[in-house]
Amino acid sequence: MPQKSKLLTLFKTVKNNFFLKISLIAFIVVAFTFNETGLMPAFAMIMTFAFLLKEPYRLFFKIKKYPIELKLLNCWVAWAYFTGVFTVKNINLFMNGFSSLILLVILINVIFLILVYDIRLIKHLIFAIFISGLLQILAIQFGFQTEEMINKEREYGLAGNPNSFGLKMVFASMSILIFMSFKKFKVNLTWIVAIALLIVFLDGVFDSGSRKSAMSFFVLIVGFIGIYKANQKYKLSISKIFIPLLIIGLITYALIPIIMEGTVLEERFEMGEERGGVEGDIRYKMFTFGLQLFADNPIFGVGLNNYRVYFFSGQYSHSDYVESLTSTGLFGFIIYQFVYIMAIIKSYKLSKIIMDKQVRFNLLFCTLIVITTKIIGLGIILYNSPSAMIIMVGVIGYVYHVEQRINNKSLSTF
C-alpha cells in the first residue's frame, strides 16, 4: 500500500504542469540555441498555449503589484514606437526592429506570468539554459556544424557568430553556479563535476575569441566566490562582500595572462593592440559616433534600428547603451536603463533584510547576474537578444516572488 501511494504521488508530480514544463524547457533551449533558425516563434506559441490551459485569469488575483522593471520595459517599448514613427529616416528598418522587439517583450511578460503561476518553474528555466550551453559544446565535439564554421579560426558552436557562442557559454555558466549554491548539492563529487563543466565552458569562451564574454565570465566567477564566502555568516555585511571580491579580483587579474596564453582570445587582444588599441577599434568609432548622433537628436533619438542608417559602414552600434540612447533619446534611454537599475536595487536591498542564507545568496547572485548582463551589453544590444532578456525576466520573476513572500510573511526558498 505505501509503495502504491508513493507511485501515485510520483505520477501526480509528473503530471502536474508537465506540458507547461516541457514547453518552457523546449522554448528556452530553442531561444538560446536555435533562435537564428526561425523556430522560436513556433515554440513560443506552444509555451503560451500550455500556459493558457492553466486558466491564467486566476493570476490577476495573485499579482497584487506588477514589477516596476516590466512596467518600465513596456513603457519604453511604447515610447520607442510613438517617437520613432515621427523621427526615423528608414521606416522599413524601424518596423522590422520594432516588430521583433514587441514580440520579444510580449514573450518576456508571458514568462514572468508563468513564474508567478509557479515559481518552481524557474528551476526548469535554469536547467534549460544549462542544456543549451551543453548542446553548443556537443555540436563542436561531434561536428554538428556546417563545414564553413568548422574551418573557422574562432568557434561558432550552433550560433551565428563566435561572439554569440561565447555569450552562450557565460549564460550556461550562470546556471552551473546557481546549482552549486543549493544546500543539497554541497557534495564533493557534485562540485568536481560542476567545476569541470565550468572549465569546459571557459574553454569555449577562449575558443570563441569573444573579449566581452571573457570579461563577463571572470566577473561572474569572481562575484560568485565573493558572494559565496561572504554569505556563510548568519548576517551579511557589505565589507564581507567587497573585501573577498577585491582579493579574488586581484588574484584573477594577475592570472588572466597565464590562463589566456596560446588561445584565440589572446590573439584577438594582441591584434587590438597592433591596430592602435581602443581608439583603433571600430567599436570605439561606433561609440563616439553614437554620442555625436545623440547630440544631434537628444530628445527622441533617430528611431529603433536606424543608427545603421547614419553610420558609414551601415552597421548597428554593437552596444546596448549607444543603441538605446541614439534610438530613443535621453528620456527613452533613462526609462530603459532603469529596468536594470531597479532590478539591481531591489535584489540587493532584499538581500540585506533576508536571514535565510539560500534565499539571500539567490538575491545577491541575481544582482551579480544583472551586473554581468550589463557588462555584456557593452558589446551587444540586450533588448534584441532573447537570451539576455530571458535571463533578466528570470531575475525579475524571482525577486518578485521573494518580495511577495516577505509581504505575506511566508518566505521560502525555491
Return the HEC string of the chain.
CHHHHHHHHHHHHHHCCHHHHHHHHHHHHHHHHCHHHCCHHHHHHHHHHHHHCCCHHHHHHHCCCCCHHHHHHHHHHHHHHHHHHHHCCCHHHHHHHHHHHHHHHHHHHHHHHHHHHCHHHHHHHHHHHHHHHHHHHHHHHCCCCCHHHHCCCCCCCCCCCHHHHHHHHHHHHHHHHHHHHCHHHCCHHHHHHHHHHHHHHHHHHHHHCCHHHHHHHHHHHHHHHHHHHHCCCCCCCHHHHHHHHHHHHHHHHHHHHHHHCCCHHHHHHHHHHHCCHHHHCHHHHHHHHHHHHHHHCCCCCCCCCCHHHHCCCCCCCCCHHHHHHHHHHHHHHHHHHHHHHHHHHHHHHHHCCCCCHHHHHHHHHHHHHHHHHHHHCCCCCHHHCHHHHHHHHHHHHHHHHHHHHHHHCCCCCC
> Cell 557593452 belongs to which residue?
378
Structural domain harbouring 302: 2-408
Q: Are 294 and 311 in contact (CB under 8 A)?
A: no
> Dmax over Cα atoms in the chain, in whole Å?
77
Per residue of the chain (414 residues), give pLDDT as tens: 455 555 555 445 445 678 889 999 999 999 998 877 778 899 999 999 888 887 666 665 566 688 999 999 999 999 999 999 989 999 999 999 999 999 999 999 999 999 988 899 999 999 999 999 999 999 888 777 666 666 667 787 777 788 888 899 999 999 999 988 775 555 567 788 888 999 999 988 888 888 888 889 988 988 888 888 777 765 656 566 666 666 666 665 565 555 555 555 555 555 554 444 444 467 888 999 999 999 999 999 999 999 999 998 888 898 999 999 999 999 999 999 999 999 999 999 998 888 888 899 999 999 999 999 999 998 899 999 999 999 999 999 999 999 988 887 655 444
User: On the CB side of 192, how many CA atoms lie within 13 Å of its CA?
Assistant: 3
Task: Specify the number of domains making up the chain.
Answer: 1
Q: Are 343 and 396 in contact (CB under 8 A)?
A: yes
| 40-63 CB burial, b ≥16 within 10 A, e <16 | beebbebbbebbeebebeeeeeee
- Has residue 86 been placed in a domain? yes
Q: Are 20 and 121 in contact (CB under 8 A)?
A: yes
Please give the model's pTM, rounded to 2 decimal places.
0.86
User: Can you say how many angstroms the Cα of residue 414 is from the centroid of all Cα atoms in its chain?
Assistant: 20
User: On the CB side of 409, how many CA atoms lie within 13 Å of its CA?
Assistant: 0
Closest residue by Cα to residue 183 from 395, 361, 411: 361
State residue 91's pLDDT score: 94
State residue 389's pLDDT score: 96
Residues 6+ apart with CB under 8 A from 336: 72, 73, 76, 324, 328, 383
- Has residue 413 been placed in a domain? no
- Has residue 276 been placed in a domain? yes
- Has residue 414 been placed in a domain? no
State residue 329's pLDDT score: 94
User: Can you say how many angstroms the Cα of residue 253 is from the centroid of all Cα atoms in its chain?
Assistant: 24
- Has residue 376 been placed in a domain? yes
Phi-psi region of 154 (alpha: psi -120 to 50; beta: other; left: phi over 0): beta
Closest residue by Cα to residue 402 from 107, 10, 116: 116
The phi, psi pair for 318, rounded to 5°, reads 60, 30
